[in-house]
Amino acid sequence: MPETPHTPYAQLDWDDHGQPLSRLYDDVYFSQENGLEETRYVFLANNELPDRFGALGDGEQLVIGETGFGTGLNFLCAWQLFEQQAAAGARLHFVSVEKYPLRQDDLQRALALWPELHPYADALVAQYVALHPGFQRLVFADGRVILTLLVGDARELLPQLDARIDAWFLDGFAPARNPEMWAPELFGELARLSAPGATFGTFTSAGVVRRGLKEVGFTVKRVPGQGKKWEVLKGQFEGASSNPTKPWFARPAWRPPHRSALVIGAGLAGCATANSLAKRGWQVTLLERHAGVAQEASGNPQGVLYLKLSAHGTALSRLILSGFGHTRRALERLHKGRDWDNCGVLQLAFDPKEAQRQAQLAAVFPEDLLINLDQASAEQRTGIQLPAGGLFYPEGGWVHPPALCELLADHPSIRLVTHQEAFELRHENNAWQAWNDDRLLASAAVVVLAGAAEIKRFQCSAELPLKRIRGQISRLPATPASAALRSVVCAEGYVAPARLGEHTLGASFDFDNDDLTPTSRDHAGNLHLLEALSTDLAARLDTHALAPEQMQGRAAFRCTSPDYLPIVGPLADGDAFSAAYAVLGKDARQVPDTPCPWLDGLYINSGHGSRGLITAPLCGELIAAWLNDEPLPVPRDVADACHPNRFALRRLIRNT
Ligand SMILES: Cc1cc2nc3c(=O)[nH]c(=O)nc-3n(C[C@H](O)[C@H](O)[C@H](O)COP(=O)(O)OP(=O)(O)OC[C@H]3O[C@@H](n4cnc5c(N)ncnc54)[C@H](O)[C@@H]3O)c2cc1C
Ligand SMILES: C[S@@+](CC[C@H](N)C(=O)[O-])C[C@H]1O[C@@H](n2cnc3c(N)ncnc32)[C@H](O)[C@@H]1O
């Protein structure tokens, strides 16, 4: 299991010309003479990007991989060239790995050196938030340009990447100053990730780089350098690509005849999926049985952006860290104070076991993600008296989920069809059809089931082990005294600072109740949760004067899987899967050569449990990456851990 990383930021010095230098490596980020020209020559021209961008047609993409994101100068130059050369419907993917990210203010200062890149630099700086260790996705120009930033050591993170790179920018400080990076493992990864014929450009001509690249199958050519650089290298991958994946988790080979998708369910999962596909030029029908988006679990007035992390780098913990960053960046487009607020979240250390868990987390995660606060500091941060200190997440906060759903569903290529409930799915003439008795509601080449636990009604997904858990929130009118609450406070329950004059208090958990009428019993339970959070806040909210029978609130179903990971990706035909891989029942180590019997064009985005705000938007990107042959936005083992086929596989292996 990969270690949970700890991100130190780049320590910079600034020279007399205002250029950044790395204190650790004692090296420059870009050429001191003319960084722009050098980038354009070494990385853009030597990879023949002007022509390759120009040759991209609508719907086509080019994937660049980079070692060492640094100030993002190479990325911005590539983006600018792409904007100048590529067709309107083409897309650029840029995957870069960075062990020591610059702080946002340093990045801004470094990029201010290049006035002609201002529009691109401003967009990067605006999205350069919540970049914590692991895979972080940033979306620009309405999805035309996508950056997947791997925050951590290239040797640790590149092996987790699932991508086909067309052009490499091999940057990353001179080999003499950074021998750890330019190691045989790195060259092996470059080969594994290269598309046939992938090219590279690099500023160095060091022997270790030439030999390393040749050994793994690149042709290497020395070409004249610029300025003080005598020569630089360019070349092409001519080796054999091998990217072995178990067939049940491999990318389906089937491609839709046209880019049309039917997404069933307009909660966070469906709206996010529709948005990620629409941004990539798909025509999307978003089908919803209610009058609008976000009427069920995604309809609460406030949800909390709270990260339940593990100190052991589990798949769920890494998904949460990537998802948090992605959602947090999407929220920048919403109205702060009304639709969301980054007021911070305090997780109370409510008993010794929780305090111990929190101490472990504080030891492995960066301080700008979470910090341990003693009681006095926690009270100062939250503005109210508390029973204990806890972990404070300064970038967390609350979100009005319907606003996020509306933002995501608002795209000219998304057609929202309301008041239509799909009872049955049929696959005919290469199209998925949604039927309501004998009425055809909609059809498309691809269908994405995003209806939470309701997807079990369809025969093809009936075996997925999804459970509903009823939850109820209570709405508490704000009082002058409750205005003191400055951040979200969580323990077993949660309470948020007021939105439009009301605090949301949540939430009950009930496995046995199917009735969504709010109950006074659950309101009373929520008031109990509030007492445990802060008796001071309960008093400020005058809760002793509140009768549970009179309280307002709403109930909905969470939808969870047995391993608490969402279920995201393509699905196989259950019976054919059991037949194809029956041998696993006898020997679980076998990897038969049999292709997976996919249900061509059928995808799932469900099971977001109690944290859909954090996982659902990124999982929309994951579905789009599966469908468009793009770099996955999460590590390969995280995508496998979320894969819909995992349950059928476990059933076979356990003979159940
Ligand atoms: C009380 C409560 C508190 C929560 N608090 C938080 C929190 O603080 N933070 C957090 O991150 N998460 C929280 N969650 C979880 C979060 O709300 C969910 O994870 C998220 O909303 C799930 O989104 P979804 O799109 O999968 O499901 P839903 O929002 O339930 O959307 C599914 C949609 O599909 C539609 N649909 C289903 N079947 C069909 C069909 N056959 N035809 C047409 N339409 C169909 C439904 O009508 C519905 O609109 C909470 C959930 C609850 C219930
Ligand atoms: C010369 S700078 C890159 C300049 C950058 N491409 C730009 O456009 O500004 C080299 C970068 O590589 C990063 N780096 C060095 N070793 C690394 C490693 N092992 N893994 C990931 N990044 C590394 C450094 O932190 C630094 O930001």
For position 419, what pLDDT does the model report?
Answer: 98
Burial code (b: 16+ CB inside 10 Å, e: under 16) for 16-43 equals eeebbebeebeebbbbeeebbebbbbbb
Nearest CA to ligand 2 atom 27: 70
For position 77, what pLDDT does the model report?
Answer: 98
Cα–Cα distance measured from residue 343 to residue 487, given in angstroms and rounded to the nearest whole number:
5
Cα–Cα distance measured from residue 613 to residue 619, given in angstroms and rounded to the nearest whole number:
11
From first CA to last CA, the distance across the chain in angstroms is: 27
State if residue 98 touches ligand 2 by the CB under 6 angstroms criterion.
yes
Q: Tokens 């200190």 identify what position?
A: 389
Identify whether 507 is preceded by a cis peptide bond (ω within 30 of 0).
yes
Residue 257 in 3-state DSSP? coil
Cα–Cα distance measured from residue 268 to residue 613, given in angstroms and rounded to the nearest whole number:
7
For position 4, what pLDDT does the model report?
Answer: 42
Q: What letter does residue 644 receive in the DSSP assignment?
A: T
- Written as one string, the DSSP assignment of 372-399 is EE-HHHHHHHHSS--SS-EEEETT-EEE
Q: Which of 11, 27, 29, 147 to mutate to test ligand 2, by most ligand atoms within 8 A of the CB atom? A: 29
Which residues, 6 or more positions from 32, have their beta carbon under 8 angstroms from its beta carbon? 15, 17, 19
Its pTM stands at: 0.97
Nearest bound ligand to the CA of residue 23: 2
In which residue ranges of the chain is pLDDT below 50?
1-5
**Of 398, 392, 355, the residue nearest 377 (C-alpha):** 392
For position 2, what pLDDT does the model report?
Answer: 41
Cα–Cα distance measured from residue 302 to residue 476, given in angstroms and rounded to the nearest whole number:
12
Which residues, 6 or more positions from 123, have their beta carbon under 8 angstroms from its beta carbon? 140, 141
Nearest bound ligand to the CA of residue 64: 2
Q: Which helix (H) or strand (E) holds 49?
A: helix 49-55
Are the C-beta atoms of 557 and 469 separated by less than 8 Å? yes
How many Å lie between the centroid of ligand 2 and the Cα of residue 70?
5
Are the C-beta atoms of 358 and 391 separated by less than 8 Å? yes
Q: What is the pLDDT of residues 335-346, one digit of tens each?
A: 999 999 999 999
Cα–Cα distance measured from residue 647 to residue 653, given in angstroms and rounded to the nearest whole number:
10
Phi-psi region of 633 (alpha: psi -120 to 50; beta: other; left: phi over 0): alpha
Cα–Cα distance measured from residue 448 to residue 601, given in angstroms and rounded to the nearest whole number:
8
Nearest CA to ligand 2 atom 15: 172
Q: Tokens 């199209």 identify what position?
A: 431
Atom of ligand 2 nearest to the CA of 153: 20
Q: What is the pLDDT of residues 285-327, one digit of tens each?
A: 999 999 999 999 999 999 999 899 999 999 999 999 999 999 9
